[in-house]
Amino acid sequence: MPDPRAFISFDFDHNSTEKALFAGQSKNSKTPFSIQDWSAKSSMPQSQWERIVEEKIKKCNMVIVLVGKYMASATGVVKEIGFAKKHSVPIFGVYVGGANTSSNLPSGLQRNRTISWDWDKIASAIKQVMSEGKNIAS
C-alpha cells in the first residue's frame, strides 16, 4: 500500500499535544504504515485557513479526526469534516486526551467510525478507507 495522505483534524486549542504524538507515532517503524501529515501547522486568518485547508483535504486519501473531550467547541474540526464530505474524502475518528465513547463527537463524524487509539485498529481503519476511498493521482 502506498503511504496514505492523511489530513489530521484536531482541536487546535486542546489537543495539539495529542496531534504531535499521533503524527510522530505513525512514523514508528513498528506500525504497518506511515501517514503523510497534511494538516495545518499553525494558526492563521480564517479566510486563508479555509482556502489552504480545503485544498489540502482535497489532495488527501482520508481525514483522521482526533476526538478530544472538548470537541463541542472545535468549530474548525466541523469545517474540516465538511470539506472532506464535499470532496468525498473518507473520514474516521480516534479518541484522544481521555475522550471515549460517551464523549461528544463533532457534527458529521459517525460514532461507528470512531475508534480508540490502538495502532492495530487504526491500521485496519486506514486499510478500509483506502479500499473505499478516493485515489489521489497528485
Structural domains in the chain? 5-132 (3.40.50.11200)
- What does the pLDDT read at residue 32? 57
- What does the pLDDT read at residue 138? 41
Q: Determine which helix (DSSP H) or strand (DSSP E) holds 26, and give its type and residue range.
A: helix 16-26
Q: Could you state, in chain order, the average pLDDT of each consecutive group of 10 residues for the chain (138 residues)?
A: 79 89 78 63 78 90 93 87 95 95 93 94 87 58
- What does the pLDDT read at residue 38? 64
Q: Determine which helix (DSSP H) or strand (DSSP E) holds 67, and give its type and residue range.
A: strand 62-67
- What does the pLDDT read at residue 137? 45
- What does the pLDDT read at residue 40? 65
In whole angstroms, what is the distance from residue 27 CA to residue 13 CA? Answer: 24
Counting runs of H as helices and runs of E as strands, what totals does the chain give?
A: 4, 5
What's the CA angle centered on 63, arms 25 and 41, to 5 degrees?
65
- What does the pLDDT read at residue 46? 79
Read off the pTM: 0.88
Q: What are the DSSP calls for 113-136, one per residue?
A: GEE-S-HHHHHHHHHHHHHHSPPP
